[in-house]
Amino acid sequence: MTPASTVLALSGGVGGAKLALGLERVLPAGELAVLVNTGDDFTHLGLRICPDLDTLLYTLGGVVHTGQGWGRADESFGFMEELRRQGGPDWFLLGDRDLVLHVERTRRLAAGERLTVLMAEFAQRFGVRSRLLPMSDTPVATLLDTEAGELEFQHYFVRLRCTPQVRALRFAGAAQARPTDELLNVLHSKALQAVILCPSNPYLSIDPILAVPGMRAALRASGVPIIAVSPLIGGRAVKGPTAKIMQELGIEASPASIASHYAGLIDGLVLDHADAAHAEALAMPVLCTDTLMSTLADRERVAAAALELATALSRSRARSRA
């Protein structure tokens, strides 16, 4: 059944999933769709691993390890212990229960199933009320050109702990990728009210989504307000390498840089109170709130702020049309 109203959130992993959970909690059941980065996906030990999709699945399914923000709370590591004993690569932690998803996904993809379809089934089994939409059904890999050579995302992020200096990024496979029919249905639906860019890393997590040919145009053509939540608080990233990468790419870690990065796509920006002084200089509507999302109440507050800005923009558009 098509919901009466829909909000689409664009998300990477841990930080994005926090806001997605906030959105899910403040919206009526079934009204959230999440468009998820798959540039972090890789094949490891012969298994197809989709960390951001699984982080959303576990977070919205209520089984995530809340301390780390990824993986499951109820997890054991017998497989990893034995892999280590056998001298296998142990830098990427795969819990025993988590492993089942990777095995099943790999088996079903090899049998010709689409990632979108099998993730929807996983989501149903985890009791997720929102729609989880991979950014594409064909593989796209975020590759980082670093001082240590070209690195696949998980090798940069987990194995090397984001240490190598980043010179450039590219998204291998993006040119062949396409927005899925499931996503286009959401974007073409009259029920769509707003698009929210979660405070995920703009370069590592949102750019791969926007690199899919036709994605930017399809988001814009939806005609609804597009709001970004800044991943920076007072020039620093809450978690992860956003500020470090911005500095290495020669970009100032400021709200102005986030606004100009998303220029032509977004209509408004949610900033932390710590950045309120920057608001006036930005050529777009801004709403300030505390954007740190430690508790569930924080996530709901940031979600409500993003929706409030979207609603205000919709109303002012309706007034100017009248």
* Beta carbon of residue 221, minimum distance to ligand FO1 (angstroms, whole number): 28
Distance CA 156, CA 176 (A): 24
Q: Closest CB to ligand FO1 among 79 and 92?
A: 92
Report, in Å, the least distance between residue 74 CB and ligand FO1: 15
Rank residues 208 and 225 by Cβ distance to ligand FO1 and give the closer one.
208
Which CB atom, from 56 or from 286, has the smaller least distance to ligand FO1?
56
> Phi and psi at residue 154, in whole multiples of 5°?
-65, -30
CB of 69 to ligand FO1, least distance (A): 7
Q: 64 or 187: whose CB is closer to ligand FO1? A: 64
The closest alpha carbon to 120, from 108, 195, 111, 64, belongs to: 108
Nearer to ligand FO1, 158 or 279 (CB): 158
In terms of CB distance, is 225 or 231 closer to ligand FO1?
Answer: 231
Q: Where are the beta strands (DSSP E) in the chain?
A: 6-11, 32-36, 42-44, 47-49, 131-134, 141-146, 149-152, 166-172, 192-197, 226-229, 232-233, 236-237, 268-272, 286-289
- Least Å from the CB of residue 311 to ligand FO1: 29
CB of 93 to ligand FO1, least distance (A): 3
Q: Which residues bind ligand FO1 (CB under 6 A)?
A: 12-14, 40, 49, 51-52, 54-55, 70-71, 92-94, 98, 154, 157-158
Q: How far is the CB of 54 from ligand FO1 (least distance, A)?
A: 4
Kindly list the distances between the CA atom of residue 282 and the CA atoms of 92, 203, 254, 279, 296, in Å, as whole numbers in the listed order: 41, 20, 11, 5, 30
3-state SS string for 194-263: EEEECCCCHHHHHHHHHCCCCHHHHHHHCCCCEEEECCEECCEECCCCHHHHHHHCCCCCCHHHHHHHCC
C-beta of 13 vs 255, nearer to ligand FO1: 13
Give Rg (Cα) of the chain. 19
* CB-based closest residue to ligand FO1: 13
Smallest gap from residue 210 Cβ to ligand FO1 (A): 16
CB of 188 to ligand FO1, least distance (A): 28
- Min. distance of Cβ 264 from ligand FO1 in angstroms? 25
Would you say 209 and 239 are in contact if contact means Cβ atoms under 8 Å apart? no
Q: Which residues contact 170 (CB under 8 A, 6 or more apart)?
A: 142, 143, 145
Which residue lies nearer to ligand FO1 by CB, 12 or 139? 12
H/E element, 124: helix 115-125
Question: At residue 161, what are phi and psi to the nearest 5 degrees?
Answer: 50, 40
Q: Which is nearer to ligand FO1, 70 or 79 (CB)?
A: 70
Integer Cα distance of 246 and 207 in angstroms: 13
48: number of Cβ within 10 Å: 20
Tokens representing 121 are: 């089934």
